A and B are shown apart, each in its own frame.
Chain A
């Protein structure tokens, strides 16, 4: 039974380490790195030890701080409650934190005052772990606040870059709007249910639903909290701070930001919609969440197509992938939720890997401009292979993990369309497939312009990234392939228990408040049906096919006369002539293929659309705040009118 203490040790260990870094780190860089590594490794081990009891044996850990247990049915203390859903996110958080800690050892070697970085980093990881483990609404708000403020501080870590301060300011303002919405929602819920414990709130709301529907205050609270967590997950139209924050933030933070900080919002959405409010069986809520997710994924990928900055492009892709996740979780079906959670995991893996590759390129060449870079595959082979694996995964090419989860999402949306007879969901399936194609196009552009083609003269001395950066990259790359091929194992150990936990709020309530509590408030479990996730899909066959195709490609490459030089042959500036109206002859045969040269025809044809969205992303904070407020108003009015 000693494992019930593990969640709180994991969380408090991170906070303790953060303060220890603040004490001992200012003198020595080694001390802060050692403390960070030890703390993140401990958290990872502790969380992994919980997989057996929580996910496989189906227990729920309930832990009352200071042993203040509920008195006569009222929760009076702060409780931690770790079910399989929380564990699923906690495993991902602690894994990414550990990878990022290893990656940052060398990545931050040119930066000063790394003790501040590591203090904020450990606060961030502690708050993320606390967020997914807590069973208390106000505690959740506190963790979100710590998360937002440490993320803002880390965004502005390189404060000699003016853009970093600007991006941090945007994130601060929009993130604070989100926190205030969450707090207002929590306050309204407290007024209605007189408790802050999530299990007890869920029980009270279950009783409310059984006897004549939600009261307007609860509906209002749901709208506010949906907006609050939507802002934390950066769905449309709250996605604007991400794009500015990523290019200037240190990459070791970008990978946590893009993977786990925005997943914290997704976790919050799942937790409140499925367990606290239990509103996912209402078609109005399903349409609301799915529509926002759908717009998010389309807008994200089209904005990504137009980018020239490596990390800004990845930022828009993470918005797009979050769109997939929100779309699938909004379906309210077991298959949709499975696809959503599986995509959460896959996105965490491949997006962390993409950012690590982008960071390696930035660290070794000093540039993240897609139009300048090129031909780095000869200089950085490990980074190139890792990047290819990640790009295949995000583009959804079998047998990598992105395909598995996207396939589930297509199936889930289509199944929903057939079940409900609503044309909207069929449209969502089409959009999801189109977005996947556009993602592939966008990553062909990045791969061609950064890793293949001609190597510009100034990068001919570029070296491979150091081992401390390559190790986390390879671990993540192997996991990207592994989770795609062995998806059934992953499903059995992590995803399926998490889905089951999300669909059984009564279980959650009973464990926290004492058995029989849920039944007394008539909390009903959704019917969790066993689903055939992947019909006609055998990843091992696809892996074999991929290996054969790759072998063929290598044979063709090796047998061909590879006369392409490693260094750019033209001496003239690239911009001359290549963009001229008429050009002939072989003079520019070896000119560099920049990022903006690919898919120009597509962008030309869709010019009105691209002009429109690029003009709307003006970069002005007041505009973005206005979008946020308008969207909040729309969502709140929608919930009032349609959610009963």
Chain B
């Protein structure tokens, strides 16, 4: 029992820490995705940061909560949607009559706006979406192999 209490107290600290950090982590990740085309960062980097929130969730709340909170099938389909969006945005250049992946639609905004980079912006968003779902899915898979850790112990003792 003492051991269990010890774990619980540790859990509270981790939980509070995760609760506090999670919003910032998510916002930071989405910021890097959104402004990646005109500032340091980009879709891939931001996507990984957002996906790392999965680990925070797991560390704080354990395996069961994480897998119930996140629908893996939904994530799997959305990863494919991100990839399809990227390819379709690449094809935009072809539809307009220039090369594949060529940058188009950049003339509607002033330089410095996030959207002023044309299709590159949207492609970066698509990459970000694909990476945050893809890496998130990978992390969930890896967490899945950790079953037999503290969760099972808690269940047995409870």
Binding site for B on A (CB under 8 A): 5, 8-9, 12, 15-16, 19-20, 22-23, 26, 63-67
Contact = CB atoms under 8 A, between A and B. Distances in A.
Nearest to B83: A19
A67 B79 CA distance: 28
A15 B100 CA distance: 14
B101 interface: yes
A12 B89 CA distance: 12
Contacts of A66: 93, 99-103
Chain B CB count within 10 A is highest, among A16, A19, A65, for A19
A369 B74 CA distance: 43
Contacts of A8: 94, 100
A15 B87 contact: yes
Nearest to B73: A26
A9 B87 contact: no
A66 B99 CA distance: 5
Nearest to A65: B101
Given A22-B77, A23-B77, A66-B93, A16 B98 contact: no
**Chain B interface main SS type:** helix
Nearest to B85: A19
Contacts of A23: 77, 80-81, 84
Contact of A20 (B79, B84, B99): B84
Contacts of B55: none
A63 B103 CA distance: 15
A12 B81 contact: no
A64 B98 CA distance: 11
Given A9-B94, A22-B77, A65 B87 contact: no
B90 interface: yes
Contacts of B84: 16, 19-20, 23
A178 B94 CA distance: 35
A121 to B, nearest CB: 15
Contacts of B79: 22
Contacts of B98: 67
A614 to B, nearest CB: 37
Contact of B100 (A5, A19, A22): A5
Nearest to B88: A16
B91 interface: yes
B21 to A, nearest CB: 32
Contact of A12 (B77, B100, B103): B100
Contacts of A19: 80-81, 83-84, 87
B83 A64 contact: no
A63 B99 CA distance: 8
Contacts of A26: 73, 77
B4 interface: no
Given A66-B103, A67-B98, 12 more contacts: A5-B94, A5-B99, A9-B94, A15-B83, A19-B81, A19-B84, A19-B87, A20-B80, A22-B77, A23-B81, A23-B84, A66-B102
Q: Which 5 A-B pairs have the closest CB atoms?
A: A22-B80, A66-B101, A67-B99, A19-B83, A19-B80
B10 interface: no
21 contacts: A5-B99, A8-B94, A8-B100, A9-B94, A12-B91, A12-B100, A15-B87, A16-B84, A19-B81, A20-B84, A22-B77, A23-B80, A23-B81, A23-B84, A26-B73, A63-B99, A63-B100, A66-B101, A66-B102, A67-B98, A67-B99
Chain A CB count within 10 A is highest, among B93, B98, B101, for B101
B100 A65 contact: yes
A8 B87 CA distance: 11
B87 A16 contact: yes
B8 interface: no
A20 B73 CA distance: 15
B64 interface: no
Interface residues of B, number: 20
B99 A65 contact: yes
A15 B88 CA distance: 11
A19 B91 CA distance: 15
A185 B132 CA distance: 32
Contacts of A65: 99-101
A471 B79 CA distance: 36
Contact of B90 (A12, A20, A22): A12
Nearest to B84: A19
A366 B133 CA distance: 40
A254 B133 CA distance: 32
Nearest to B77: A23
A9 B93 CA distance: 12
Nearest to A78: B101
B49 to A, nearest CB: 24
Nearest to A25: B80
Interface in B29-85: 73, 76-77, 79-81, 83-84
A22 B91 CA distance: 20
A334 to B, nearest CB: 35
Chain B CB count within 10 A is highest, among A22, A64, A66, for A66
B146 to A, nearest CB: 21
Contacts of A9: 94, 100
Contacts of B80: 19-20, 22-23
A20 B84 CA distance: 7
Contacts of B102: 66-67
B99 A64 contact: yes
A77 B66 CA distance: 42
A490 to B, nearest CB: 31
Nearest to B103: A66
B129 to A, nearest CB: 12
A65 B102 CA distance: 7
Nearest to A11: B100
A12 B73 CA distance: 25
A67 B87 CA distance: 16
Contacts of B99: 5, 63-67
Nearest to A22: B80
Nearest to B82: A19
Contacts of B83: 15, 19
A12 B99 CA distance: 13
A65 B88 CA distance: 15
Contacts of B100: 5, 8-9, 12, 63, 65-66
Contacts of B77: 22-23, 26
B87 A12 contact: yes
A66 B100 CA distance: 6
A66 B101 CA distance: 5
Contacts of A16: 84, 87-88
B76 to A, nearest CB: 7
B82 to A, nearest CB: 9
A65 B73 CA distance: 33
Contacts of A5: 94, 99-100
B76 A22 contact: yes
Contacts of B94: 5, 8-9
Contacts of A20: 80, 84
B16 to A, nearest CB: 38
Contacts of B103: 66
B84 to A, nearest CB: 5
Nearest to A64: B99
A22 B75 CA distance: 12
B6 to A, nearest CB: 40
A373 B113 CA distance: 71
B138 to A, nearest CB: 14
